[in-house]
A and B are shown apart, each in its own frame.
Chain A
Amino acid sequence: MIRSLPITAFSLVNSLGVGDDAVAAGLARREAGLRPVAGAFDLPFETVVGAVDDTGFSELDGDLADWSTRSARIAARLIVEIEDPIRRARERWGDGRCAVIMGTSTAGADRTEAAYRQFIATGALPEDYDLWRHHTYGAVLHVIRELTGMRGPAYMLSTACTSSAKPLASAARLIASGAIDAALVGGIDTLCAMTLMGFHALGALDTSACRPFAADRAGISIGEGGAVMLLERAGDARVVLEGVGETSDAYHVSAPHPQGDGARRAMLAAIQAAEVLPSDIDFINAHGTGTRLNDAAEAMAIEAVCGTDVPVVSTKGYTGHTLGAAGATEAVLTAIGLERGEVPASVGATTVDEKIRIHVAANGATGRYRRAISNSFAFGGNNVSVLLRVP
């Protein structure tokens, strides 16, 4: 992988708001964006979610009118935020040299759920439902390609909760190989009933706001949103991608390795790719879901790699776990922390689990930070660590 690729622009949308300024303001206010789930999902249990307020999001129009799903509208909003840098990248590198590499776990599941519920009730899908425009990975990719004009490779990685962290590595590889010069990378996930019901069935869903690393943590809170970053061969960096580590646990389909072995190796691989030392890491944005097993395993992995002094935050107490969008969302939140010299308070970790020995930044931290790691771990034992640096 080429060392030190510039991320020249980024944006994000989640329950804290739209754009990095709005989201950073929410972090600074320690404002959790988690609220009781609305009635639309008709759940037989209580929980809270990090829902995106999309009242200002326009329906897609013109040739894209039939593609206007919630995911597509989030994608469109993200692109608007960085349309000038995208245009400049196309002009500099050429449309065909610019890729779109995104991640998702749900794709258009929310739209298909609504359609299928009508099918169960009436025996017919809604007349306007179309699998290829409303559900598949290609649907959102089509919208992004049309809105950005990027004409290089376009694909959606789907590795559950690491889905949108992996595009950074894929894009960096393709730039290194000479296949492309720039890529819009990131991910989008939207709330849907099956996800909420599924995590509830696994016993992994908290009934109140999640509390990563807390002694009384009781599971995750689901969120939604998206984030994009523009990775280029060269350019003026907001932050620099220095390394990505990707490993597999080879242990269990839905449970983490108990000692966080795959997570440890992912962090070490990112550090090695960056050709730095663990002591060069100034803070870690943990995967930190709020489940008992995940947080315990990740804490062991962090302790093994970076010791017990480096500040660690989980931002899921603000946004909820945005699943397929989490990797990109948290990489951008890490970038914001580096730019502003602020580690957000790890909301919910009021009393840190005494078995967790890492330094959970319950009250946040400030400083002149240079490098940070963002962790993402997933079903299938899939692990990704992204190492970013300020320019």
Chain B
Amino acid sequence: MSATTVGVAGVGVFVPGFADIAAWLTGQASEGAIRPTGELYPKRLRRRASTFSRALADVYAETTRSLDDDESVSLVIGSSIGEANTMIDLLDQMWREETALSPTRFAMSVHNAAAGMVTIATANTGFATSLGADFDTPAMALIEACGLVIERGQAAVVVCGDEPVPEKLVPPNHGWDMLAAGLLLVPVERAVHGTLSMPARAPASVPAPGLAAGLARNPQAGMLDLVDAIVRGRSGTVALDRGRGCGWTVAFERAAD
């Protein structure tokens, strides 16, 4: 293993209709799991949280289930459009309704709103960040998280997600469905599912799973593909951009049985 390899110790997904990673893997859809709960957040925060922020929180909670101490875990949130729907709501307030902006919604419109709320919910006074790189967001979030694990020798959670893009901002049929997926990365010696290399530009060897078109168009679909490969134990190189970014991939090697 090179110095740029990290272990995987937890996974999580939010895909509307699937209650958790197990349901996703077995295709067990349920009507009760359409909307994220955001149960990680205290009630007062949950009331203010967008659907998107709740989805990220749900994935964080599932991903870190095995973590003893999430007060010091590093947190990396990746998203291409962040709280774009909140931004459109605010623009409607300003120019369509011509009312004063909601200060709370404005504060919640920043890209790192979810990261901030997760740190509050988990009393995490350590590292948190939020980033985007369009269709390369999963690869870049993994690079940032790998750098943290390698530097600090401690766990890092990376959660990538995007809510549906505001329909008004894109041509018809260019939208996508919400999804979020996450990994708990740890030093190699603590790996549970296997190991990941630092993302690089290399040909993919693991076929992407079949996704509904709306999910496949989500800029974070590559993260879902990676989680899928990890939980199914498919070693190899996984594409992180579904062919729409700069060609970043990541090599996964499953843990020995």
Contact = CB atoms under 8 A, between A and B. Distances in A.
Chain A bound to chain B:
yes
Interface of A: 1, 96, 105, 109, 112-113, 115-117, 119-120, 125, 131-132, 135-139, 141, 153-160, 166, 170, 173-174, 176-179, 193-194, 197-203, 246-254, 261-262, 265, 378-382
A382 B110 CA distance: 12
Contact of A193 (B94, B96, B132, B137): B94
Interface of B: 3-4, 45, 48, 80-82, 87-88, 90-92, 94-96, 100-103, 106-113, 115-117, 119-120, 122-137, 139-141, 143-144, 146-148, 150-151, 165, 168-170, 198-199, 201, 246
B147 A173 contact: yes
B103 A201 contact: yes
B115 A138 contact: no
Contacts of B143: 153, 155, 174, 179
A265 B126 CA distance: 9
Contacts, number: 201
A112 B94 CA distance: 14
Contact of A381 (B4, B88, B116, B130): B116
B81 A136 contact: yes
Given A120-B96, A177-B4, A137 B80 contact: yes
A201 B100 contact: yes
Contact of B120 (A179, A203, A252): A252
Nearest to A248: B119
B140 A155 contact: yes
Given A116-B91, A159-B111, A248-B119, A138 B125 contact: no
Given A136-B81, A194-B90, A248 B116 contact: yes
A380 B115 contact: yes
B94 A194 contact: yes
A253 B94 contact: no
Contact of B106 (A96, A153, A198, A378): A198
B95 A253 contact: no
A158 B130 contact: yes
Given A109-B87, A177-B147, A177-B150, A378 B112 contact: yes
Contacts of B88: 116
B112 A160 contact: yes
List 8 A-B pairs, minimum CB-CB distance, nearest first.
A380-B116, A138-B134, A198-B106, A158-B111, A155-B140, A173-B147, A254-B107, A137-B132
B91 A194 contact: yes
Contacts of A159: 110-112, 115, 128-130
Contacts of B107: 198, 202, 253-254, 379
B244 to A, nearest CB: 10
A131 B168 contact: no
Contacts of B108: 253
Contacts of B113: 253, 379-380
Given A154-B140, A177-B146, A177-B150, 13 more contacts: A138-B134, A155-B140, A158-B131, A170-B147, A174-B143, A174-B147, A197-B101, A202-B106, A250-B123, A253-B48, A254-B107, A380-B115, A381-B119
Contact of B103 (A125, A194, A203): A203
A287 B111 CA distance: 20
